[in-house]
Amino acid sequence: MTGRGSAILPVPADDARQSALLATTLRAGQAIDDDVAVVVSTSGTTGTPKGALLTADALRASATATHSRLGGEGRWLLALPAYHIAGLQVLVRSTLAGTTPVTVAASFDPRELPSAVAALGSGRRYASLVAVQLDKCLQHPAAAEALADLDAVLIGGG
């Protein structure tokens, strides 16, 4: 993560319409500051999505602060799309920790959570979810129990 060179614009690989919309809206291909490592779209809940320009230093600082707050580096569950900031940050935190996240299906079925959490192995284990995912997990006892086995669960999104 040097932050030098071309910035990336993560888009959903399985949704050509959304990818094209984001590329157009966020002006992919236009010049931006050399320090920008990634352009992450906002959710667009208040209108047209906007591009948040993030540097490698900002991504790294966020990941480091998160690990510091949670008590150290660990293995992460990737339950959010990597083209959203919460999913992208799971990848950044995992990279900095020298680990590979355990990925759950894009459709997020809480019944898959116990095996995904088990696949994280031993040591510090974390997940980052949105409120809808948490609600689904709390309605399935085995998923709720799996979440309780984690060291921390970050909840974000609106």
The DSSP string of 80-95 is: S-TTSHHHHHHHHHHH
Residue ranges of the chain that CATH labels 3.40.50.980: 57-156
For residues 108-131, average pLDDT: 95
**Count of Cβ atoms closer than 10 Å to residue 16 Cβ:** 10
**Count of Cβ atoms closer than 10 Å to residue 65 Cβ:** 10
For residues 122-130, average pLDDT: 95
| pLDDT of amino acid 1 | 46
The 10s digit of each residue's pLDDT in 1-20 is: 444 556 666 666 777 776 66
Spatial separation of the C-alpha atoms in residues 23 and 111, rounded to whole Å: 34
CA distances from 53 to 41, 62, 89, 157 (A): 9, 14, 14, 18
The conformation of residue 30, written as its DSSP 8-state character, comes to: S
Share of the chain above pLDDT 70, in %: 78
Q: Which residues contact 93 (CB under 8 A, 6 or more apart)?
A: 63, 66, 67, 73, 76, 126
**Topology of domain 57-156, CATH:** Rossmann fold (3.40.50)
Spatial separation of the C-alpha atoms in residues 58 and 78, rounded to whole Å: 20
The 10s digit of each residue's pLDDT in 38-62 is: 778 776 667 777 777 888 899 999 9
Spatial separation of the C-alpha atoms in residues 50 and 111, rounded to whole Å: 34
- What is the SS3 assignment for 16? helix
| pLDDT of amino acid 63 | 96
pLDDT band at 156 (very low <50, low <70, confident <90, very high): confident
| pLDDT of amino acid 51 | 76
Q: Pick the more confident residue, 105 or 79.
A: 79
For residues 132-151, average pLDDT: 96
Spatial separation of the C-alpha atoms in residues 75 and 91, rounded to whole Å: 10
The conformation of residue 107, written as its DSSP 8-state character, comes to: T
- pLDDT above 80: residue 94: yes
pLDDT band at 32 (very low <50, low <70, confident <90, very high): low
